[in-house]
Amino acid sequence: MATGASLGAALNELLREHNVQPLRRLSTYHAKHWHAQLSQLTHTQRGYEALEHAGLTVRPETLIKWLSDPEYNVRRSYRQIIHAAYENAAVIPADPIPESLKNGQFEITGLVKTGDDQRFRGGLNNTGRITAPLRIDGRSGNWAAIEHKWAQGELDDQSFEDDFIEYVIIEDIGEGTDGWDFPGTSYTVTI
């Protein structure tokens, strides 16, 4: 069960509760000079792979010369390759969204609006009646756009809400009268 100030915030909290890590940058990668970057890269297998992936092709003797003298005159194109490798090595990709979440049966509690119909779902409404939550079958969803934004580090609360409506809710139960809106200030999502 995850709670948030918006549907998107609750969905992002659900990812955190599943211990799914977003795209992130290693805090130890903060060197500015090419020599410091190269030195750090050559201390790990990850760094060597980043250099190779960036296209650095020099003989080991040349690499040793560069590392032994920070004032060595390295061509600008090599400095650019080293910097690109350093930036790539500093980024840890996002964990994939778990299949258990994408195939889950979502229950959404909060204010739900479609057209002129606006009501609280999943608890006591303003008349004292208990209402059913909005139930969504995640298996019906098209998760590709959500997964892409997640992998790129672009899945903020608003985009998660918008894409969840577009690619999961609408795929499962349809467009609604005039689309779906979640104008409330607190949502709970359970799977």
Which of the four pLDDT bands, split at 50, 70 and 90, describes residue 187? Answer: very high
Q: Considering the chain, what is the average pLDDT of its residues?
A: 93
Q: What is the pLDDT of residues 100-151, one digit of tens each?
A: 999 999 999 999 999 888 999 998 777 778 889 999 999 999 999 999 999 9
Strands (E), 5-51: 24-25
Which of 76-90, 111-125, 152-166 is least confident? 111-125
Whole-model pTM: value is: 0.79
pLDDT at 93: 92
Which of the four pLDDT bands, split at 50, 70 and 90, describes residue 177? Answer: low
C-alpha 161/C-alpha 156 separation (Å) is 9
- Name which of 106, 97, 100, 98 is nearest 191 in CA terms: 106
pLDDT at 43: 92
Q: Could you tell me the two tokens for 93?
A: 């990709």
Break the chain into its structural domains and give their ranges. Answer: 2-22+95-190, 24-92
pLDDT at 178: 76
Q: Are 114 and 179 in contact (CB under 8 A)?
A: yes
pLDDT at 99: 96
